[in-house]
Chain A
Amino acid sequence: MWFMRFPIDAVFVDGAGRVVRVAERLAPWRTMIAARGARDVLELPAGAAAGTQAGDELLFEPA
């Protein structure tokens, strides 16, 4: 399906903005994932989370 061609990366962060889990190349409509200790989860285009790992601190701003 045409709309399946958009895999994502999911980055789970805790209340301090620290990465607790990175899940790469997920099928957005089909994959359910979770992470213990996460407060927020950020989706990114697949590949964008490459190099990000648990323990990293994430900075982002409202858009």
Chain B
Amino acid sequence: MIDLAAVRDTLLAPRCAGCGAPGTWFCLVCRDLCEPIVRGRVHAAGTYGGALRDAIQRFKYKGEAGLANELGALVASCLAADLAQGVALDVIVPAVLHRERARERGYDQATLLAEVVARSVTLPLVRPMRRVRRARPQVELDRAARAENVRGAFISVAGSLRGARVALIDDVVTTGATIAAAAGALRAAGARDVRAYVVAFDE
């Protein structure tokens, strides 16, 4: 198998998204500046700001998919800390992106992060969810309903997570509505417990 990270690092000289230091895409010093945050069942590696914000923006909007390794490592360390404290988790699930948006971008950042996390903590990665848009004609809906229609929804395979304790992975949590929707879809698929691990809280 081709080591994509090695190919990338050969073609482009890596520079830290935070401080510009050469040799890495997000250096250890900048990673250490991240303060993990917990809000109920959502764990974030840091606050959406400074170097972390720059790294996430490059990851999401500038096509730098390789940053999944560094940002995924940050998420994995939050998850590993929970595992070390006795939190039981069985599977890793990405809060998948809309397929159209993933196609435009060339990748689904939640899935890339989840792959890195799964490898790092050696838990299986499963993808029981996808996103759909309700096909009800927009003209029938009032404004609020239209906004919700645009939000789309998660659909999951019924019973696919029966009894599983799930670590849900995403990049940024802002209002918490999307991550809650994903968590609900996983519970409705039979998950016994859902905890979310994300790169950053945007508060």
A binds B: yes
Q: Mark B80-112, 1 if CB is under 8 A from A, else 0.
A: 000000000000000000111000000000000
Main secondary structure of the interface of B (DSSP, over half): mixed
The chain B residue sitting closest to A39, CB to CB, is: B158
The chain B residue sitting closest to A26, CB to CB, is: B184
**Residue ranges of A at the interface with B (Cβ–Cβ < 8 Å):** 1-6, 8, 10, 12, 23, 26, 28-35, 38-45, 48, 59-63
B152 interface neighbour in A10, A28, A35, A63, Cβ under 8 Å: A63
A41-B180 CB under 8 A given contacts A31-B187, A59-B135 = no
Q: What range describes how many residues of B lie at the interface?
A: 35 or more
B132 touches A29 (CB 8 A): no
**Residue ranges of B at the interface with A (Cβ–Cβ < 8 Å):** 39-42, 98-100, 130-136, 145, 148, 151-159, 162, 173, 175-177, 179-181, 183-185, 187-192, 194
B155 touches A33 (CB 8 A): no
